[in-house]
Amino acid sequence: MADTKNQNIHLAVFKGKTIRKTLFQKEWWFSILDIIQILTNSPQPKTYWAKMKERDKEMSQPFPFWEQLKMPAEDGKMRKTDCANTEGMFRIIQSVPSPKAEPLKRWLAKVGYERVQEIENPELAIKRTKILYKLKGYPDDWIEKRMRGIAVREELTDEWQKRGAKEKKDYEILTAEISKATFGLIPQEYKKLKGLKRENLRDHMDDFELILTMLGERTTTEIHKTEDSRACRN
């Protein structure tokens, strides 16, 4: 299985259907089962994918067409999931007879290209994120708080990385401590309270919750920096 640390898990939408995707080696990797379900409308995409691998010896081997990366499953837990990048997904789609194949390939090409643009121009990623939230119906003032919260979060995770945080679990533990101190609940408990499964918890927070989250994470960042300053003086 590939090394999946420092992943960013996202949900994409193709014609109303959800596709899990994650950043790995600076490009998007998509859930193969999600793509197959869209192409075939099969109630058992795992079985369909297994039969595809049986028929195609090249496809039966993970590299270079696909990798196993951790993604959120239906139960909310991170589980090993067969994923492919844009090139690998094209190879898989070509093996599935479906009228949705061509539209889906065009969609994948667009998403993959956008990621390259965002790496070269980070401001473009911010603009696109704002547009997505706007299309989902979020008000402008909420979007501004959410974007500010993302920036605060990135600054905090940078501090954690400097202090040796490497695995996804490291960040989850540290995040849980802040959430517990702020809301009295760890993120998993908070999601359950809100009736969420795969959804992003912060996308379902109101303005006040976003502000409290920012305050907790910003305060933690400043404490880290202050402790370093004190250590230097001593």
Rg (CA), the chain: 20
Average pLDDT score over residue span 27-45: 91
Q: Per-residue pLDDT for 219 more than 80?
A: yes
Per-domain residue ranges for the chain? 9-120, 128-233
Q: Of 188, 179, 190, which is closest to residue 213 (Cα–Cα)?
A: 179
Higher pLDDT, 184 or 78: 184
Q: Per-residue pLDDT for 92 more than 50?
A: yes
Which range among 36-45, 60-69, 177-186, 188-197 shows the weakest confidence by mean pLDDT? 60-69
Average pLDDT score over residue span 59-70: 81
Distance CA 138, CA 131 (A): 10
Query: Would you state the structure tokens that stand for residue 103, as one six-digit string?
Result: 């539209």
Q: Of 42, 35, 30, which is closest to residue 15 (Cα–Cα)?
A: 35
pLDDT in tens, 106-145: 888 777 667 656 666 777 778 878 888 888 899 999 999 9
Q: Grade residue 102 by pLDDT with cuts at 50, 70 and 90.
A: confident
Q: Grade residue 86 by pLDDT with cuts at 50, 70 and 90.
A: confident
Distance CA 202, CA 142 (A): 11
Strand-pair category, 9-14 with 78-85: unpaired
Please check whether residue 85 is in contact with residue 93, taking contact to mean a CB–CB distance below 8 angstroms. no
Distance CA 211, CA 183 (A): 12
| Per-residue pLDDT, 231 | 44
Beta-strand (E) ranges in the chain? Answer: 9-14, 17-24, 27-31, 67-72, 78-85
Q: Grade residue 216 by pLDDT with cuts at 50, 70 and 90.
A: very high
Q: Among all chains, which residue has been given the structure tokens 């690998």?
A: 88
| Per-residue pLDDT, 148 | 95
The DSSP bridge partners found for residue 72 are 78
Helices (H), 121-167: 122-135, 140-162
Please, which contacts does 85-89 make with residues 24 or more away whose CB atoms are closer than 8 Å? 85/24, 85/27, 85/28, 85/29, 85/30, 85/112, 86/27, 86/28, 86/30, 86/111, 86/112, 88/64, 89/30, 89/32, 89/35
| Per-residue pLDDT, 113 | 66
Mean pLDDT rounded to a whole number for the chain: 85
Burial (CB count <10 Å: 0-12, 13-18, 19+), residue 189: middle
| Per-residue pLDDT, 6 | 39
